[in-house]
Amino acid sequence: MKILILGAGQVGGSVAESLCSEANDITIVDLDAARLAKLRDTLDLRTVTGNAASPLVLRQAGAEDTDLLIAVTQSDQTNLCACRIAASLFNISTRIARLRSTDYMSYPALFDDQNFAVDFTICPEQVVTEYIDKLIEFPEALQVLEFANGLVSLVAVRVIVGGPLIGHPIADIRKHIPNVEARVAAIFRGERAIIPEGDTQIQADDEVFFLAATKDIRQVMSELRRMDKPIKRIMIAGGGNIGYRLARALESDHQVKIIERNKKRAEFLATELKSTLVLQGEATDEELLESENIDDMDMFLSLTNDDEDNIMSATLAKRMRARRVLALINRHAYVDLVQAGPIDIAISPAQISIGALLAHVRQGDVVVVHSLRRGAAEALELVAHGDRRTSKVVGRSIGEITLPEGATIAAIVRREGMAADTDNSANAKDDRPSKVLIAHHDTVIESADHVIVFVVSKRLVPQIEKLFQVGLGYF
């Protein structure tokens, strides 16, 4: 696929990195030649220096035969303008724009083909905020990812001593909690991935990925580990976009303190946030943390732009006995470095937000893609089309489907009363209730089912895509 990325910042860079490895032709445009040079050195892509909203620059970047435009510059205006130009002059079929300001988002009509011609908008800050919000709701989880509009969740959880299932085979889940259906999609023991069978035993310190209806996940988690008290008191270091959005989302039912270095920004936060306590200072200042009772905090989140600061302040907070600490870390090398150390959760914003983009890049009818374990593994929600004759999955039971080694079908979401395969693209609005079928060997996939597939390695994604593509007979 020919992809044009506008903006080589954190988001643009990691999108490029992630897509480069998947045999796409990528061109990236940015104003900063030095930044582009750096990318060109490490990745196999083309770069163009210039204003991303200029027709001339876009033409130079080969916009004329591009399939997908990803406008992720810092400026909302540039992104919107580039989408309009892409539609008017170059006929690029799919246009994605990053929009930070909620102002634009509140007028969906702006994104029509007559107006800015944006097919999909993404807001990385919002995606990361929601991601962290989930982790606060489920403090025991390492990752909580939603499929089928939140009906099904994939949860990563570290098994620790005290979980009733430790030492038992997976099949025992059903005996322990008979009224709940859950499927363990994968177990990571150290760096090794285990595709679980019914008799695989769960051990302490395993990282278990399981899939269950969202309402059931707390119950399933309690089988794997002792449950913590819910999180009430939260301290956020860094009042940037993510810190601010998170504080705003949490302040109504949590006690939130936020530490911001910049005085002007702190004043802005104090004006916009209602019950959050805004503190001005350094998050690595031991005395400040001490005087604000860091040891009483249920969760400490360091969300500044600076990886080193985040690591240091999170480490400090942990040592000063904050219950659970989370750090936002952009650099891959650091994530691996600290994950096992004093920091409970290290999250990479680029990896989280890239899922929202990946769904549009994937072949076939992919609704959602979540990147797992820092991009190594992936979970996809795909729509099955066709019938037994044209499709390799529809009309077959899961046992019959030949999946590549390392891939699992974890669940199926089926709309009630869905007769034939009509319109079921990613954005189809449909109010009919859906039900979650946790996958068994004998579950038969029907057309229009949303199938959630877990792959332990990203290498397997093309094979899965191919599996779900409809043969020629379908058309």
Partner 1 sequence: MRAFFPVLNVLGAMLAIFSVTFLPPIATSLIYQDNAASAFSYAMGICLIAGSISWLATRRFKAELKTRDGFLLVTLAWTLMSLIGSTPLMFVYEKMSFTDAFFESMSGLTTTGATVMADLDHAPPSINLWRHELNWLGGMGIIVLAIAILPLLGVGGMQLFRAETPGPMKDAKLTARISDTARALWLIYLALTIACALCLRLAGMNWFDAICHALACLSLGGFSTRDASVGAFNSPAIEAVLIIFMVIAALNFATHFVAWKSKSIKAYWNDVEAKGVVTLLTISCIGAGFYLWKVDYYPSLWTALRHATFNLVSVATDCGFVSVDFDKWPVFVPLWMLFLSCILASSGSTGGGIKMIRTLILSSQGSRELTRLLHPAVVNPVIIGGAIVPNRVVFAVLGFIFLYFMSIVTLTFLLMFGGLDFISAFSAVIACINNAGPGLNVVGPAQNYGPLTDFETWVLSFTMLLGRLEVFSLLILFTPGFWRK
In the bound state with partner 1, the residue whose beta carbon lies nearer, of 271 and 425, is 271
- The nearest distance, CB 271 to partner 1, in angstroms, is 6
The residue type of 209 is: F
- The nearest distance, CB 74 to partner 1, in angstroms, is 24
Q: Which two tokens stand for residue 310?
A: 């985040």
What's the rounded Cα separation, in Å, for the pair 154 and 167?
Answer: 22
- The nearest distance, CB 123 to partner 1, in angstroms, is 23
Q: Return the residues of window 275-304 that contact partner 1 according to CB under 8 A.
A: 277-281, 288, 291-292
Task: Output the CA–CA distances (angstroms, integers) from residue 358 to 112, 131, 469, in the order listed.
Answer: 22, 17, 17
Q: How many helices (H) and strands (E) are present in the chain, helices listed first?
A: 15, 22
In the bound state with partner 1, the residue whose beta carbon lies nearer, of 254 and 458, is 254
Does residue 266 touch partner 1 according to CB under 8 A?
A: yes
What's the rounded Cα separation, in Å, for the pair 249 and 60?
Answer: 42
In the bound state with partner 1, the residue whose beta carbon lies nearer, of 203 and 291, is 291
- Classify 334 as helix, strand or coil: helix
- The nearest distance, CB 272 to partner 1, in angstroms, is 9
Does residue 267 touch partner 1 according to CB under 8 A?
A: yes
Instruction: Report the 10 Å Cβ neighbour count for 233.
Output: 16
In the bound state with partner 1, the residue whose beta carbon lies nearer, of 271 and 427, is 271
What's the rounded Cα separation, in Å, for the pair 39 and 16?
Answer: 9
- The nearest distance, CB 247 to partner 1, in angstroms, is 13
- The nearest distance, CB 264 to partner 1, in angstroms, is 10
Concatenate the DSSP letters of all residues of 280-304 into one string: ES-TT-HHHHHHTTGGG-SEEEE--
Is residue 181 within 8 A of residue 439, CB to CB? The reply is: no
| β 94-98/120-122 pair status | parallel
What's the rounded Cα separation, in Å, for the pair 83 and 117?
Answer: 6
Does residue 263 touch partner 1 according to CB under 8 A?
A: yes
- The nearest distance, CB 241 to partner 1, in angstroms, is 18
Residue choice 271, 402, 425, 427 for contact with partner 1 (CB under 8 A): 271
In the bound state with partner 1, the residue whose beta carbon lies nearer, of 304 and 408, is 304
Q: Return the residues of window 232-261 that contact partner 1 according to CB under 8 A.
A: 259-260
Residue choice 160, 194, 270, 312 for contact with partner 1 (CB under 8 A): 270
Q: Which residues bind partner 1 (CB under 8 A)?
A: 259-260, 263, 266-267, 269-271, 277-281, 288, 291-292
